[in-house]
C-alpha cells in the first residue's frame, strides 16, 4: 500500500506541476538569437494601414466654415448623439450606433452622396474618396474625417475575461489585447496562441509564441481590427484544476484513498 501511495503522489506532481518556462512571457528561447535588456528592437514590417472590409463600421464626419452646408450630408442628430454618448458608453459602441456600415459589396451609403465604395481601401484612401464625392457639391472647402471605431478584437479560450473587446487606439499590441482580456489563464498554452486574422477576401490562422522574446520583432506583435485570439488549455486540465494546487491535491488524495481502501478489501478477501 505504501508503494501505491508513493506512486500516486509521484504521478500527481509529475502531471500537475507547471514549469515556469511554460508560463513566463518574453523569454530568450533556445535556437533564437538572444535579445538583451536595453537592446533596441525595430518593429517588423506589417500592414500599418488597416484595409476596410465588408460589415466594418466607420465614423464619417464633415466640417466647414459654414456648418449649415454639411448638415444635409449627415443623419439627423448623429453629431449631437456622438457628443452625448461619448462619456456614457464604453468601448466603441457609439460608433456602431452613429457610424456607417459597409455592406457586403464594400459600399457605404451616405445621405445625398449615395453609395461610395470604400471596401478594400485603407482609411486615408477611403477618406479621399468621400472627399472627392462631396467636393462635387461645394466650391467652399469641406473637411472630411473618416475613421474606424477603435480596434475590435475577440478573445476566446483560456482568458480571464473572454468576449469581444474594443481598444480605442489606432495601434495596439498583442499585450494590450491580453491585458484587456484579463491576461491569460495559467493553464493556457502560451506557446500556441492562435491569431485568426481577416484579409481582403479571406482569413488566415497564425500561431504566436508568447514565451518568445522574438515576438517583439514579429509582424503579429500589433493586432488589427477584427482579430480573433484563441488560447488552448494545457492537457493538465484533465487532472483537475491544476492552477489551484489545494483542490488538485484534494482530488488526487481522495482518489488515492479510495484505491487504497479498495485494495485492502480485495486483499482481505483473498
Q: How many domains does the chain have?
A: 3
| pLDDT recorded at residue 15 | 47
> For the whole model, what pTM was predicted?
0.67
Indicate the Cα dihedral angle 159, 164, 169, 171, nearest 10°: 60
Helix (H, G, I), strand (E, B) or coil at 134: helix
- Based on the fold, state whether residues 103 and 170 are members of the same structural domain: no
- Based on the fold, state whether residues 139 and 78 are members of the same structural domain: yes
| pLDDT recorded at residue 153 | 93
Helix (H, G, I), strand (E, B) or coil at 93: helix
Q: DSSP secondary-structure letter at 52?
A: P
CATH number for the domain harbouring residue 164: 3.10.560.10
| pLDDT recorded at residue 81 | 54
| Domain coverage including residue 217 | 20-48+151-233
- Based on the fold, state whether residues 138 and 67 are members of the same structural domain: yes
At which of 118, 148, 178 does a domain end? 148
Q: DSSP secondary-structure letter at 122?
A: B
| pLDDT recorded at residue 42 | 84
| pLDDT recorded at residue 129 | 95
At which of 117, 148, 179 does a domain end? 148
> What is the β-pairing status of strands 163-167 and 227-233?
unpaired
| pLDDT recorded at residue 190 | 86
CATH number for the domain harbouring residue 120: 3.30.1950.10
- Based on the fold, state whether residues 31 and 93 are members of the same structural domain: no
CA dist 259 and 8 (Å) reads: 10
Per the CB < 8 A criterion, the answer to whether 261 and 4 are in contact is: no
Q: DSSP secondary-structure letter at 45?
A: P
Per the CB < 8 A criterion, the answer to whether 100 and 109 are in contact is: yes
| pLDDT recorded at residue 6 | 53
| pLDDT recorded at residue 47 | 67
- Based on the fold, state whether residues 184 and 168 are members of the same structural domain: yes
- Based on the fold, state whether residues 42 and 155 are members of the same structural domain: yes
| pLDDT recorded at residue 139 | 67
- Based on the fold, state whether residues 143 and 66 are members of the same structural domain: yes
- Based on the fold, state whether residues 144 and 180 are members of the same structural domain: no
| pLDDT recorded at residue 28 | 77
| pLDDT recorded at residue 118 | 94
pLDDT along the chain (270 residues), means of 10: 52 51 72 82 75 87 77 62 51 67 91 90 93 82 84 90 86 91 77 88 90 90 92 67 52 70 68
- Based on the fold, state whether residues 35 and 12 are members of the same structural domain: no
Indicate the Cα dihedral angle 239, 245, 251, 257, nearest 10°: 120
At which of 148, 180, 210 does a domain end? 148
- Based on the fold, state whether residues 188 and 74 are members of the same structural domain: no
| pLDDT recorded at residue 87 | 46
Helix (H, G, I), strand (E, B) or coil at 18: coil
- Based on the fold, state whether residues 226 and 157 are members of the same structural domain: yes
Q: b/e string for 52-76 if b means 16 or more Cβ within 10 A?
A: bbeebbbbbbbebeeeebbeebbee
The CB-side HSE value for 206 (13 A sphere, CA atoms) comes to 20
Distance of CA 68 to the CA centre of its chain: 41
- Based on the fold, state whether residues 84 and 210 are members of the same structural domain: no
Amino acid at each position: 500500500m505504501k508503494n501505491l501511495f508513493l506512486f500516486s503522489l509521484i504521478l500527481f506532481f509529475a502531471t500537475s506541476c507547471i514549469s515556469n518556462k511554460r508560463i513566463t512571457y518574453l523569454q530568450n528561447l533556445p535556437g533564437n538569437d538572444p535579445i538583451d535588456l536595453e537592446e533596441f528592437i525595430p518593429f517588423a514590417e506589417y500592414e500599418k494601414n488597416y484595409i476596410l472590409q465588408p460589415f466594418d463600421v466607420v465614423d464619417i464626419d464633415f466640417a466647414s466654415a459654414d456648418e449649415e452646408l454639411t448638415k444635409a450630408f449627415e443623419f439627423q442628430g448623429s453629431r449631437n448623439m456622438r457628443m452625448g454618448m461619448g462619456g456614457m458608453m464604453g468601448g466603441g459602441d457609439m460608433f456602431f450606433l452613429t457610424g456607417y456600415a459597409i455592406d457586403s459589396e464594400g459600399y457605404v451609403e451616405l445621405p445625398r452622396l449615395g453609395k461610395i465604395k470604400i471596401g478594400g481601401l485603407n482609411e486615408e484612401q477611403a477618406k479621399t474618396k468621400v472627399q472627392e464625392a462631396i467636393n462635387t457639391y461645394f466650391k467652399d472647402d469641406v473637411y472630411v474625417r473618416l475613421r474606424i471605431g477603435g480596434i475590435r478584437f475577440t478573445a476566446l479560450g483560456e482568458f480571464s475575461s473572454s468576449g469581444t473587446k474594443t481598444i480605442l487606439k489606432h495601434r495596439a499590441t498583442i499585450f494590450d489585447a491580453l491585458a484587456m482580456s484579463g491576461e491569460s489563464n495559467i493553464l493556457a498554452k502560451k506557446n500556441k496562441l492562435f491569431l485568426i486574422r481577416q484579409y481582403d477576401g479571406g482569413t488566415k490562422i497564425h500561431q504566436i509564441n508568447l514565451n518568445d522574446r522574438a515576438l517583439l520583432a514579429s509582424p503579429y506583435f500589433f493586432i488589427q481590427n477584427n482579430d480573433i485570439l484563441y488560447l488552448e488549455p494545457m492537457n493538465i486540465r484533465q487532472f483537475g484544476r491544476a492552477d489551484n494546487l489545494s483542490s488538485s491535491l484534494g482530488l488526487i488524495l481522495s482518489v488515492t484513498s479510495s484505491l487504497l481502501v479498495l485494495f485492502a478489501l480485495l486483499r482481505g478477501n483473498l
